Amino acid sequence: MSAASGGRRVYVTGGSGFLGSNVVAALAAHPGVELVVSGDLRPPRRAIDGVVAVHGDVTEPGTLAPQFREHRIDTVVHLASIVNPGAATTVEQEYAVDVEGSRHVLDACVEAGVGRLVVSSSGAAYGYYADNPMPLVETDALRGNDTFPYSRHKRLVEEMLAEARVSHPELEQVIFRIGTILGPTVGNQITALWEADRPLEIRGAASPFVFAWVDDVVGAMVHAVAGGGPAGAYNVAGDGVVTVREIAAAMGKRTRRLPAWVLSLGLRVGHALKLTVHGPEQLDFLRYRPVLANDRLTGEFGYVPGRTSREALDAYLEARAERLAAG
């Protein structure tokens, strides 16, 4: 790795994940970064010159601080999280990684004298509510729903970080509340909604999405580490929104429009019969999508996403078409 003497020495939790592997590669290529340590339970997706891969388990207290001290880490990028839980993943396991894991990372940063902590939060921390401001800005309340573990966990982590800003002001924090991430190979519970012959549209709800192209999320992370972006909380999303109907049209499909009460009843019955993983509370996840304003990101933080929400969708669909054509 070509590194500048005296550059940042960075530890990335979740460094072998989809986002983490991209962040690790970008940091390793940056001239202002001297060392990148990728911590994960999984092996690296690919070998990168100059990157040190270590066994990093955020759920094990007391294991991270020695690694931070050994490698003289001054900046930690915390990405380890369960974003797409499997069918066998329990809420307790999600909490252990998302919340307790974040606590262990925070404690290790304080113990080892790390100067800056960069955290991937989510627009889900604002919660899914009918009365959410549109768009949401960083000073709006974080009300992550208790009925959605991921949303609740992101809220709890941000509350933890807020307490740490008071008790440990020497540790700078950069928090990214990220919209739905799209990339060439992304597949998650959001993109799965679009694969139906007629994607679901809730009558009377626009359900607008804000998207962040993966390269833009990575770029914001790199700017936080080596580009001089100031501490603070920032929404990360491209300009504009895209509705379910617009997504379906871009895929050459029509939506299936159903009233909310029909969907709620179907989810209630399906969940009771163990035919569906989700209950009626999932309805709010579908119809009250958090819409994120990125003004603070582009202004105060100084990073401008390269793609709008619509351009991120188009790039994803182009890559999807190529995958389908290739078989």
pLDDT at 188: 85
Which one, of 125, 205, 191, lies nearest residue 162 by Cα? 125
Contacts 24+ apart (CB under 8 A), 79-86: 79/12, 79/13, 79/14, 79/15, 79/17, 79/19, 79/20, 79/23, 79/120, 80/13, 80/14, 80/17, 80/20, 80/39, 80/40, 80/56, 80/105, 81/14, 81/120, 82/150, 83/150, 83/188, 84/188, 84/189
Active-site pick, 11, 150, 234, 316: 150
pLDDT at 282: 78
**CB contact set of 272 (below 8 Å; sequence gap of 6+):** none
Q: Give residue-wise pLDDT tens across range 272-321.
A: 777 666 677 778 888 899 999 999 999 999 999 999 999 999 999 999 99
Distance CA 279, CA 228 (A): 44
What structural domains does the chain harbor? 8-254+274-326 (3.40.50.720)
pLDDT at 4: 40
pLDDT at 27: 97
**pTM, 2 dp:** 0.94
Q: Give residue-wise pLDDT tens across range 9-35.
A: 999 999 999 999 999 999 999 999 999
> Catalytic: 150?
yes
Which one, of 270, 272, 211, lies nearest residue 236 by Cα? 211
DSSP character string of 3-23: --TT-EEEEEETTTSHHHHHH
Distance CA 165, CA 159 (A): 10
pLDDT at 170: 97
The residue whose two tokens read 């991937």 is: 120
Q: Give residue-wise pLDDT tens across range 267-281.
A: 787 767 776 666 777
Residue numbers in the chain where pLDDT is lower than 70: 1-5, 87, 271, 275-278
pLDDT at 261: 84
Mean pLDDT, all residues of the chain: 92
Bridge-partner residues for 37, per DSSP?
Answer: 11, 52
